[in-house]
Amino acid sequence: MANGSMRLDLRNSLRQEPVILTLLTILAVLFFLAVSGLSHIYHTQQQSLGNRWFDRGVTDLNAQRFERAVSDFRTALLYSRDDYSYEFNLAEALIGLKRTDEAYAYLINLWDEEPENGLVNLELARIAAHKHETDKALRYYHNAIYATWSDSDEELERRTTRLELIDYLLGIGARTQAESELIALAANLGDDAAQQLRVADLFARIKDYEHALAEYRLVLASDRNNPAALAGLGMSAFQLSRYDVARRYLEAAAAANPNDSQSAELLKTTELVLRLDPYQRQLSVAERNRIVIEGFAAAGERVKACSPAGGVPEQMPNSSAPNNLAAKRAKWEQMKNQVTEQGLRRNPDLVDAAMDLVFDIERQSNATCGPASGADLALLLIARLHEGN
């Protein structure tokens, strides 16, 4: 009887709400601990599988087996859906397969997650550039330039990205934008000779020879025999009509790299310019007269070849005065007997008149009969050099 009453009391006590809630709490904690244990096993396995497939993917990606790499990275993502590097590498593999739309989808997700990630911005910029979406490409390139670059030399990555942007701008003909990017880049350029040389080349490519010259000089400051820098500096000086400087560096370039035919060719022209320019200082009268006679003769050959006697020269497109050349030839014929050593000595004013005619003939011939070469090109360059004097 007493036992029965105790059991009833116990049962009643167990049915009290606080007791029920305490029991439920204990059960919940136990269940929670058990699931925590399972969860640990589960997540460890998921992580291990993810890493294993990711490592395989990286190996395949490095070996350019893009199809397999895509499959590997996708598998890795099954086990860690939001792993940043898994997704990024998958996007890279997709880019390798030229599946840029899919890659873009992954990259844009990564971008949403980390808009300041340099690599992601760069890849997005490349895809946008590939799809001819200029605005987007520029935005992502600029994002990449000012982004954070983990695990690498940030400044180097930024400069490399800017260089890529400049290439892209030049590719789409945005020369002004490219020039401003180049100036910004040059201002932040470190001691990396390769990048300095690249920047100098780009300045030369956009015909900003002053900046190019300065950059080539920086390269030579750290590597005085760099053939590319020597050639580039010589060419830039040549374009700036600084023929003395050009000759010095072009000679050095030709010596440093005998296979550099372009520099050799420029050197020849430079030497001709320096030899055929009668307005150089410190020339004796005899020497000057000899140069004038040589130039006059060369112009005569050019005008004869371009405008045969009595014939109408073959007209170049956009040539406004085809028959002018015949008049020049007539004038040349008229002056031919006066432009002699004796005639020039007797009449020093004839030097200017003769050279004016020479320059006119070269300009006209260049416009009418096609690009000049050799002595004609040199005379043309001399004409440009003294234009306005």
Partner 1 sequence: MDLSTKSQGDALVEEAPAAIGMPVALPRRSRTAFLRSIFSEERFFLILSVFIGVFSGLSVVCFRFAIDWCRIYLLGSGYTLSTSRLLLAPTLAGLVIAVLVIHVFPLARGSGVNQTKAALFIYNGYIPLRTAVGKFITAALAIGSGHSLGPEDPSLQIGASLASAIGRQLHLSRDRMRLIAPVGAAAGLAAAFNAPISAVLFVIEEVIGRWTAGILGSVVLSAVSSVVVMRWFLGSESLFRIPPVELKQPSELIAYAVLGVVGGLASVVFSSGIATLRPRFKALPNWTQYFQPALAGLLIGLIAVLGAPQVMGAGYEYIDEAMHGQFTWQFLAILAGLKIVATLLSFVSGTPGGMFAPTLFIGAMLGAAVGGAEHVLLPHLTGSPGTYALVGMGVLFAGFLRVPMTSVFMVLEVSGNYSIIVPVIVANTFAYVISRKLQPTAIFDILTRQDGLDLPSMEEQREEGILRVEDAMRPVTDPVLKAEETLEQAWQRANANAPEVPKVLLVQLSPTGWSSVTLEELKTMIKEGKNTLTLASVLAGRQVPFLHPDHSLDTALRYVDRWPLVPVVSRADFRQLEGVITQQDVLKRYRDFGEG
Q: Output 91 or 291, the one with its CB closest to partner 1.
A: 91
**In the complex, what is the shortest distance from the CB of residue 97 to partner 1, in angstroms, rounded to a whole number?**
12
Q: Output 59 or 323, the one with its CB closest to partner 1.
A: 59
Q: Output 21 or 285, the one with its CB closest to partner 1.
A: 21
Burial of 175 (0-12, 13-18, 19+ CB in 10 A): middle
Q: Output 75 or 262, the one with its CB closest to partner 1.
A: 75
- Which among 87, 90, 145, 153 is positioned nearest to 121, based on CA atoms? 145
**In the complex, what is the shortest distance from the CB of residue 116 to partner 1, in angstroms, rounded to a whole number?**
18
Q: Which two tokens stand for residue 291?
A: 């140069």
**In the complex, what is the shortest distance from the CB of residue 1 to partner 1, in angstroms, rounded to a whole number?**
21
CB 68 within 8 A of CB 75: no
Number of H helices, E strands in the chain: 19, 0
**In the complex, what is the shortest distance from the CB of residue 69 to partner 1, in angstroms, rounded to a whole number?**
11
Q: Which two tokens stand for residue 269?
A: 């022209």
CB 269 within 8 A of CB 380: no
**In the complex, what is the shortest distance from the CB of residue 165 to partner 1, in angstroms, rounded to a whole number?**
25
Q: Output 71 or 177, the one with its CB closest to partner 1.
A: 71
The rounded distance, in Å, linking the Cα atoms of 124 and 311 is: 62
**In the complex, what is the shortest distance from the CB of residue 153 to partner 1, in angstroms, rounded to a whole number?**
32
Q: Which residues bind partner 1 (CB under 8 A)?
A: 12, 15-18, 20-21, 24-25, 27-28, 31-32, 35-36, 38-39, 42, 45-46, 49, 53, 71-72, 74-75, 77-79, 81-82, 101-102, 105-106, 108-109, 112
Q: Angle of helix 134-145 relative to helix 154-171, nearest 10 degrees?
A: 160
Q: Output 78 or 156, the one with its CB closest to partner 1.
A: 78
Q: Which two tokens stand for residue 203?
A: 């300045």
Type of residue numbered 324: N
Q: Output 6 or 28, the one with its CB closest to partner 1.
A: 28
The rounded distance, in Å, linking the Cα atoms of 344 and 382 is: 20
The rounded distance, in Å, linking the Cα atoms of 374 and 367 is: 16
Widest Cα–Cα separation across the chain: 156
The rounded distance, in Å, linking the Cα atoms of 247 and 334 is: 36
β-pair partners for 117: 148
Beta carbons within 8 Å of 110's beta carbon, 6+ residues apart:
84, 87, 88, 91, 117, 120
**In the complex, what is the shortest distance from the CB of residue 263 to partner 1, in angstroms, rounded to a whole number?**
51
**In the complex, what is the shortest distance from the CB of residue 15 to partner 1, in angstroms, rounded to a whole number?**
3
Q: Output 52 or 175, the one with its CB closest to partner 1.
A: 52
